Chain A
């Protein structure tokens, strides 16, 4: 038997190698240098993420398939890699003080965050369903553990176990979908699946349709779309706040990256079929997310439902299956990273060991006691609600306009109605902060230079992308997969 080694390109996976090695080095340093303050590991990881960002920006404008077409570097994956690295960097900045305060200051935390980032990068760059699946598992397993990181807390254990059991269950659906697609087309490569379906006119092959449905279930779970959203509120509430912030930003974007790549590259031939399913899912996701968020009293739970609702807006843009829709998703996910991480950073600043102040009523009177922090929180809430001039408005504007341009007027109208509903619960936080008397003594804030830096970055992102979105929009339009 003759063995020919296929050509491979180490440069294209350099960012992945760098982040993986950093994770391992952090782990080993943690073991051998016990006296080293754990914060140093945080700064080291942060630095490595920045360097990875520089490497990735040097890859811009190239499209390289390597390792027998199992991995691809193109502008689409690069844009997503930027989203992941930005969210990871901000989360690391937010975590440094929080971990010490919560007594969970272990070096493994940073290793797992970095490994989850590796998983996300593999998902965005996976050109083969096997690579995508392995990336998704690396990300998920790291997140299961991170969710249960506060081992002495019951709610954290509950979050981890719930996420793990349901996540493993949903992975089965995804894997079965991949198996059916492989059985029908004879390949796991996403480009080849697409060519097979077009060449053989296999638009109504039951195996492919079934596989597509199962993929929707698998990805729907990871993006927390209704009706696969039930895990999200409990997991978001129970997980340590820094992990919740991380889960709502990067992994969600990664799941959407895979969603887009698989459905727009492999399965565009079945668009008439899956767009109906996603249409219904989008409406359900937006409506359930927004309506249930109104009744929440815990701010982390409220943000969980809000993140479900935001997934609905993104699904709306996937339904359009247009290049404008894809560009608007890329922009929206970037914006969402800034505004959502910012909101979580404020929550973490207000929390204390043993008393996290997670009820919305705990925020009453904050506007008088800590005016700067109240303004910061208001900016993020306004942005999440989609009020100009903040970035959330521009993101929603592009998504709705892409839906209208593709002829999904009803969907856009439902989206706008939902957006109006969402204003109620976002503004309630602001109202409580400015118009209610304080119900509690405000303890000193848990501030540190790093969380302040994280807040500054997120505020800058939220405002800058709202006022000058054109450069990023152009970048997003160049990064779409469709011609």
Chain B
């Protein structure tokens, strides 16, 4: 009971802040709203008994990534969105996006109301997880069953680093 109450409250906060990110004209305000979204998401993870993911969410997203965001915004000195951007030049796009979005919501709503959505329970139930410990379990899975995806993630990061350096490096030859 308490859990679902907390879920509803946090869910509302997440959605409100996410809307705030989109509608703020000042980029710094948007960034602050984004931090709030990330932190509220971490609370949702805790409600799902995923404490490790929640901690990582706060450290990586709300911490490191957002600090970078704010730094970049300040370094580039992004001003309030220009008046020109504020104008609705894509009215048709806006109308169709709202219409299709509402349609999607309606379809999802009808489906959710009419059928019982049930996921499959895995072998790691909350009780089982609390027994072993969340972090140990994630670590164990990463180094046994998912060792291959874990290792190839390093290639992904390496490719991203090389790409960032190539695209951002200052001097151009010839």
Contacts and interface: CB of A to CB of B under 8 A. Distances in A.
Interface of A: 1, 3-6, 8, 13, 20, 24, 27, 66-68, 70-71, 103, 105-106, 108, 111-112, 115, 118-119, 122, 128, 130-131, 134-135, 137-138, 141-142, 144-145, 148-149, 151-152, 160, 183-187, 196, 206-207, 210
Contact of B145 (A6, A115, A148): A6
Given A6-B144, A108-B166, A141 B156 contact: yes
A145 B149 contact: no
Contacts of B24: none
B147 interface: yes
Contacts of A24: 158
A148 B167 CA distance: 7
Interface stretch (B37-45, B77-85, B94-102, B112-120): B112-120
A184 B120 contact: yes
Nearest to A114: B159
B167 A160 contact: yes
B148 A184 contact: no
B172 interface: yes
A141 B159 contact: yes
24 contacts: A1-B140, A3-B140, A3-B144, A4-B144, A8-B148, A20-B155, A24-B158, A66-B148, A68-B147, A70-B145, A103-B174, A106-B173, A108-B165, A112-B166, A122-B152, A134-B152, A142-B163, A144-B163, A145-B159, A145-B166, A184-B120, A186-B119, A186-B121, A187-B120
B74 interface: no
A130 B149 contact: yes
B136 interface: yes
Nearest to B144: A6
Interface string B116-160: 010111100000000010001000100111111100110110111
Contacts of B117: 206-207
A183 B165 CA distance: 37
B111 interface: yes
B111, B117, B159: residue with the most chain A Cβ atoms closer than 10 Å: B159
A112 B156 contact: no
Instruction: Give the size range of B's interface with the partner.
Output: 20 to 34
Contact of A112 (B140, B147, B163): B163
Contacts of B158: 24, 115
Contacts of A70: 145-146, 148-149
Interface of B: 108, 111-112, 115, 117, 119-122, 132, 136, 140, 143-149, 152-153, 155-156, 158-160, 162-163, 165-167, 172-174
A210 B117 CA distance: 12
A131 B160 contact: no
Contact of B159 (A1, A103, A115, A184): A115
Contacts of A122: 152
B11 to A, nearest CB: 17
Given A5-B144, A103-B173, A184-B120, A135 B152 contact: yes
Contacts of B121: 186
A149 B169 CA distance: 12
B162 to A, nearest CB: 6
Contacts of A115: 155, 158-159, 162
B12 to A, nearest CB: 21
A48 to B, nearest CB: 16
A111 B148 contact: no
Contacts of A183: 119-120
Given A4-B144, A70-B146, A145-B167, 12 more contacts: A1-B140, A3-B140, A6-B147, A13-B148, A70-B145, A71-B148, A134-B149, A134-B153, A138-B159, A148-B167, A151-B167, A184-B119
Contacts of A66: 148
Given A27-B162, A106-B166, A135-B152, A152 B145 contact: no
A106 B153 CA distance: 25
Nearest to B136: A1
Contacts of B147: 6, 8, 67-68
Nearest to A135: B152
Contacts of A13: 148
B115 A206 contact: yes
A183 B162 CA distance: 35
B104 to A, nearest CB: 10
A142 B164 CA distance: 10
B167 to A, nearest CB: 6
Contact of A134 (B119, B132, B156, B160): B156
Contacts of B163: 112, 141-142, 144-145
A314 B146 CA distance: 33
B155 A111 contact: no
A108 B158 CA distance: 12
A148 B147 CA distance: 33
Nearest to A152: B172
A89 B61 CA distance: 40
Interface pairs A-B: 10 shortest CB-CB? A186-B120, A145-B163, A67-B148, A103-B174, A68-B145, A183-B119, A130-B149, A115-B159, A70-B148, A206-B111
B61 to A, nearest CB: 15
Given A3-B144, A145-B166, A112 B149 contact: no
A67, A119, A122: residue with the most chain B Cβ atoms closer than 10 Å: A67
Contacts of A111: 162
B158 to A, nearest CB: 8
Nearest to A137: B156
